[in-house]
Amino acid sequence: MNLSTGIVGLPNVGKSTLFNAITNSTVEAANYPFATIEPNVGIVNVPDKRMKVLTSMIEPDSVVYTTFKFVDIAGLVKGASKGEGLGNKFLQNIREVDSICHVVRCFDNDDITHVHNSVDPIRDVEVINLELILADLDVLNNRIEKIAKKAQSGNKESIKEKEICDRLINHLTNNKLANTLGLTEEEKLIIKSYNLLTLKPMLYVANIDENDITTYESNKHYQALKNLVGEKNIIALSVKIEYEISQLDEASKEEFIKELNLSSSGLDKLIFSSYKLLNLSTFFTYGKKEVRAWTFVNGMFAPECAGIIHTDFQRGFIKAEIIKYDDLVALKSEQAVKDAGKLKLAGKDYIMQDGDICNFKFNV
């Protein structure tokens, strides 16, 4: 299950530097618009302290982390929905990701140009959101034109679809993102093929000054952004510092993070937040040959999760042997867990939980 988030923002806000830090790759990060023309794609391991604990317990031959995909998308400018700058390319690239990571400049530095010649996070967010809204309105209006006759003739499916479109248009026209309308899962399924930009989950990254990493709450730009988007949808980090951390070896990283009085790197928080934004969790397979983390969507049943490993596992699913991570760590071995009566035999109706250690039984 390889889901993705697109890193977006105005030109020169730190997108490509952030992407370089996340993926440890080198993408041109220039001090002028459109340094990124084609999207750059990077696959990263999802940080999980539980993996280190599990591997230390059994010392497997192989360790495989679950992964998450980040896409660095070209900087957006006002008028992109009408083709300005690299607008059409930008909007098409962003339609292909599952969520949006919106980088917003929240630091003052006269040496780094701003496309609007001043630092104003609210304006910057509104510029990008407006372009996304306008692009979605075009999609919705075009769709209504196609289904209007069917709806007028009494076709129930078309009537329902048009009603959803009308609500969305009214919502977007009031400068509100589609993901705040509160559509039901059934309604989202009806319009899934539209691939609306503003329906995607969005996380805002406040790119703060390196001197503000432990005091960012007092940063006026961060506060303005937080007041606009809400505390749950924002993460603060210094892209410059995170890039420096990404260039170090593991031991030096840990030492540097401690020197900065941080509990973990901002990148780890960003990767984890992006993972959770899509309602994702992790289950494990555990053995001497391999310890591996697997991504699943919260609410998935055991057979569906088995299918993530291999379709045969789902097709011939019999049961799953489930050990809770905390039980294995506390009791030290699988046998001790079994002896304590804490091994669970789960059937087809078992909903997988984050941290479950699984052994799937199947027959095909």
Q: What is the DSSP string of 243-257?
A: HHHHTS-HHHHHHHH
Was domain 299-362 assigned CATH 3.40.50.980?
no
DSSP state of 39: P
Q: Which residue's structure tokens are 């078309």?
A: 158
Higher pLDDT, 201 or 117: 201
Residues 195-222 as b or e (16 or more Cβ within 10 Å = b): ebbbbbbbbbbbbbbeebbeebeebebb
The angle subtended at Cα 278 by Cα 323 and Cα 183, nearest 5°, is: 120
What is the model's pLDDT at position 33? Answer: 39
Predicted confidence (pLDDT) at residue 337 exceeds the cutoff of 80? yes
Whether the CB-CB separation of 19 and 40 falls below 8 Å is answered with yes
Q: 219: pLDDT confidence band, cut at 50, 70 and 90?
A: very high
DSSP state of 82: G
Q: How far is CA 229 from CA 68, 122, 234, in A?
A: 24, 9, 7
Whether the CB-CB separation of 322 and 357 falls below 8 Å is answered with yes
Beta-sheet strand order (sheet of 356-362): 62-64, 290-297, 280-286, 356-362, 317-324, 344-346
Q: 195: pLDDT confidence band, cut at 50, 70 and 90?
A: very high
Q: Which residues are annotated as a binding site?
A: 12-17
* Range scoring the smallest mean pLDDT among 67-81, 185-199, 303-317, 342-356: 67-81
Closest residue by Cα to residue 8 from 97, 68, 82: 97
The angle subtended at Cα 331 by Cα 329 and Cα 336, nearest 5°, is: 130
Closest residue by Cα to residue 355 from 47, 50, 1: 50
Structure tokens at 249: 């070896």
What is the model's pLDDT at position 83? Answer: 52
* Range scoring the smallest mean pLDDT among 46-50, 284-288, 289-293, 311-315: 46-50
Predicted confidence (pLDDT) at residue 362 exceeds the cutoff of 70? yes
What is the model's pLDDT at position 89? Answer: 63
What is the model's pLDDT at position 85? Answer: 45
For 14-38, how does the pLDDT look when each residue is reduced to its tens digit (9 = 90+)? Answer: 888 898 888 874 444 443 333 344 5
CATH for 4-276? 3.40.50.300
Q: What are 63's strand-pairing partners?
A: 291
Beta-sheet strand order (sheet of 234-237): 40-45, 67-72, 4-8, 99-105, 202-207, 234-237
SS3 assignment, position 304:
helix
What is the model's pLDDT at position 81? Answer: 53
DSSP state of 7: E
Predicted confidence (pLDDT) at residue 235 exceeds the cutoff of 70? yes
Higher pLDDT, 232 or 330: 330
Q: Which residues are annotated as a binding site for ATP?
A: 12-17
Domain ranges of the chain: 4-276, 299-362
Cα distance between the two ends of the chain? 23
pTM of the model: 0.85
What is the model's pLDDT at position 238? Answer: 96
Which amino acid appears at position 116 of this protein?
H
Q: 241: pLDDT confidence band, cut at 50, 70 and 90?
A: very high
Per CATH, 4-276 and 299-362 having the same topology is answered no
Mean pLDDT of 159-171: 97
Higher pLDDT, 110 or 207: 207
Share of the chain above pLDDT 90, in %: 70
Q: Which residues contact 320 (CB under 8 A, 6 or more apart)?
A: 302, 305, 306, 345, 346, 350, 358, 359, 360, 361
Share of the chain above pLDDT 70, in %: 91
What is the model's pLDDT at position 43? Answer: 85
Helix (H) or strand (E) holding 76: none
